[in-house]
Amino acid sequence: MHIAVNCWPSVSGNETFVSIEYEPSSLFDLRNVMISAPLPALREPPSVRQIDGEWRYDSRNSILEWSILLIDNSNRSGAMEFVVPPADSSSFFPISVWFSATSTYSELKVVNILPLKGGAPPKFSQRTQLVTENYQVV
Protein backbone atom coordinates (compact mmCIF):
# COMPACT_ATOMS: atom_id res chain seq x y z
CA MET A 1 0.00 0.00 0.00
CA HIS A 2 1.30 3.47 -0.85
CA ILE A 3 -0.92 5.66 1.31
CA ALA A 4 -3.21 5.20 4.30
CA VAL A 5 -6.17 7.57 4.59
CA ASN A 6 -8.31 7.84 7.74
CA CYS A 7 -11.54 9.80 8.22
CA TRP A 8 -13.20 10.58 11.55
CA PRO A 9 -16.58 12.35 11.41
CA SER A 10 -17.93 13.47 14.79
CA VAL A 11 -21.32 15.13 15.39
CA SER A 12 -21.36 17.75 18.13
CA GLY A 13 -24.51 19.82 18.58
CA ASN A 14 -25.57 21.25 15.25
CA GLU A 15 -22.23 20.59 13.49
CA THR A 16 -20.26 17.65 12.17
CA PHE A 17 -16.50 17.94 12.62
CA VAL A 18 -14.55 15.85 10.11
CA SER A 19 -10.85 15.04 10.28
CA ILE A 20 -9.12 13.31 7.36
CA GLU A 21 -5.46 12.28 7.61
CA TYR A 22 -3.00 10.74 5.19
CA GLU A 23 0.19 8.80 5.83
CA PRO A 24 2.00 7.23 2.87
CA SER A 25 4.71 4.62 3.01
CA SER A 26 8.23 6.00 2.95
CA LEU A 27 9.13 3.95 -0.14
CA PHE A 28 7.98 6.51 -2.68
CA ASP A 29 7.46 10.20 -3.15
CA LEU A 30 3.87 10.71 -4.32
CA ARG A 31 2.88 13.38 -6.82
CA ASN A 32 -0.43 15.06 -7.66
CA VAL A 33 -2.26 13.48 -4.74
CA MET A 34 -6.03 14.05 -4.74
CA ILE A 35 -8.21 12.91 -1.86
CA SER A 36 -11.88 13.28 -2.73
CA ALA A 37 -14.54 13.03 0.00
CA PRO A 38 -18.28 12.99 -0.68
CA LEU A 39 -20.31 15.38 1.46
CA PRO A 40 -24.00 15.57 2.31
CA ALA A 41 -25.97 18.08 0.23
CA LEU A 42 -24.90 21.54 1.45
CA ARG A 43 -26.25 25.05 0.92
CA GLU A 44 -22.79 26.55 1.45
CA PRO A 45 -19.24 25.22 1.11
CA PRO A 46 -17.81 23.39 4.13
CA SER A 47 -15.82 25.42 6.64
CA VAL A 48 -12.24 24.17 6.24
CA ARG A 49 -10.45 24.85 9.52
CA GLN A 50 -7.04 23.31 8.84
CA ILE A 51 -5.40 21.78 5.79
CA ASP A 52 -2.00 20.64 4.60
CA GLY A 53 -2.33 21.43 0.90
CA GLU A 54 -5.16 23.00 -1.11
CA TRP A 55 -8.91 22.33 -1.25
CA ARG A 56 -11.80 22.86 -3.63
CA TYR A 57 -15.51 22.27 -3.13
CA ASP A 58 -17.39 20.80 -6.09
CA SER A 59 -20.92 21.98 -5.27
CA ARG A 60 -22.49 20.24 -8.28
CA ASN A 61 -21.39 16.81 -7.05
CA SER A 62 -21.11 17.74 -3.35
CA ILE A 63 -17.48 16.62 -3.13
CA LEU A 64 -14.58 18.14 -1.19
CA GLU A 65 -11.31 17.74 -3.09
CA TRP A 66 -8.03 17.91 -1.18
CA SER A 67 -4.89 18.20 -3.30
CA ILE A 68 -1.24 17.84 -2.33
CA LEU A 69 1.26 18.44 -5.16
CA LEU A 70 4.08 16.41 -3.60
CA ILE A 71 4.37 14.12 -0.61
CA ASP A 72 8.00 13.51 0.28
CA ASN A 73 10.16 13.28 3.42
CA SER A 74 9.16 16.83 4.39
CA ASN A 75 5.44 15.97 4.72
CA ARG A 76 4.99 12.21 5.24
CA SER A 77 1.71 12.89 7.03
CA GLY A 78 -0.93 15.56 6.76
CA ALA A 79 -4.46 16.43 7.79
CA MET A 80 -7.54 18.35 6.79
CA GLU A 81 -10.27 19.38 9.22
CA PHE A 82 -13.62 20.81 8.20
CA VAL A 83 -17.09 21.43 9.58
CA VAL A 84 -20.50 20.87 7.98
CA PRO A 85 -24.07 20.78 9.34
CA PRO A 86 -25.08 17.57 11.19
CA ALA A 87 -24.72 14.52 8.96
CA ASP A 88 -24.59 10.75 9.19
CA SER A 89 -20.97 9.53 9.21
CA SER A 90 -21.63 7.22 6.23
CA SER A 91 -22.22 10.28 3.99
CA PHE A 92 -18.43 10.97 3.95
CA PHE A 93 -17.58 7.63 2.32
CA PRO A 94 -16.27 6.22 0.08
CA ILE A 95 -13.23 8.48 -0.13
CA SER A 96 -11.38 8.25 -3.44
CA VAL A 97 -7.62 8.73 -3.71
CA TRP A 98 -5.54 9.41 -6.81
CA PHE A 99 -1.76 9.80 -7.03
CA SER A 100 1.24 9.06 -9.17
CA ALA A 101 4.85 8.15 -8.45
CA THR A 102 8.01 7.91 -10.52
CA SER A 103 9.01 4.63 -8.82
CA THR A 104 7.39 1.22 -8.65
CA TYR A 105 7.75 -1.76 -6.34
CA SER A 106 9.66 -3.80 -8.91
CA GLU A 107 12.00 -1.03 -10.10
CA LEU A 108 12.07 -2.85 -13.44
CA LYS A 109 14.12 -0.98 -16.05
CA VAL A 110 14.84 -1.50 -19.74
CA VAL A 111 18.60 -1.54 -20.17
CA ASN A 112 18.88 -2.30 -23.88
CA ILE A 113 16.85 -2.90 -27.04
CA LEU A 114 18.04 -5.46 -29.57
CA PRO A 115 16.76 -5.30 -33.17
CA LEU A 116 15.21 -8.57 -34.41
CA LYS A 117 17.27 -8.51 -37.62
CA GLY A 118 20.57 -7.59 -35.98
CA GLY A 119 22.45 -4.33 -36.23
CA ALA A 120 23.14 -1.58 -33.75
CA PRO A 121 20.71 -1.11 -30.86
CA PRO A 122 18.45 1.93 -31.47
CA LYS A 123 18.47 4.89 -29.12
CA PHE A 124 15.59 4.88 -26.65
CA SER A 125 14.33 6.57 -23.56
CA GLN A 126 12.04 5.40 -20.81
CA ARG A 127 9.81 6.88 -18.17
CA THR A 128 8.63 4.96 -15.14
CA GLN A 129 5.32 5.99 -13.63
CA LEU A 130 2.92 4.45 -11.17
CA VAL A 131 -0.66 5.75 -11.42
CA THR A 132 -3.71 4.74 -9.40
CA GLU A 133 -6.70 3.41 -11.27
CA ASN A 134 -9.15 2.89 -8.39
CA TYR A 135 -8.22 3.49 -4.75
CA GLN A 136 -11.02 3.95 -2.24
CA VAL A 137 -11.45 4.15 1.52
CA VAL A 138 -14.85 2.66 2.34
Query: Could you tell me if 9 and 64 are in contact, meaning their C-beta atoms sit under 8 angstroms apart?
Result: no
Read off the pLDDT band of 1 (50, 70, 90).
low
Q: What is the pTM of this model?
A: 0.84
Cα–Cα dist 65/30, whole Å: 17
Choose between 27 and 115: higher pLDDT.
115
pLDDT of residue 110: 87
Q: Which residues are registered as beta bridge partners of 115?
A: none
Average pLDDT of the chain, as a whole number: 92
- pLDDT 10s digits, 29-83: 999 999 999 999 999 999 999 999 999 999 999 999 999 999 999 999 999 999 9
Question: For position 137, what pLDDT does the model report?
Answer: 86
Q: Residue 46 in contact with residue 82, Cβ under 8 Å?
A: yes
Cβ contact 79:21 at 8 Å: yes
- The per-residue pLDDT for range 99-138, each reduced to its tens digit, is 998 887 777 888 889 999 888 988 989 888 888 877 788 7
Asked if 35 and 53 touch (Cβ cutoff 8 Å), the reply is: no
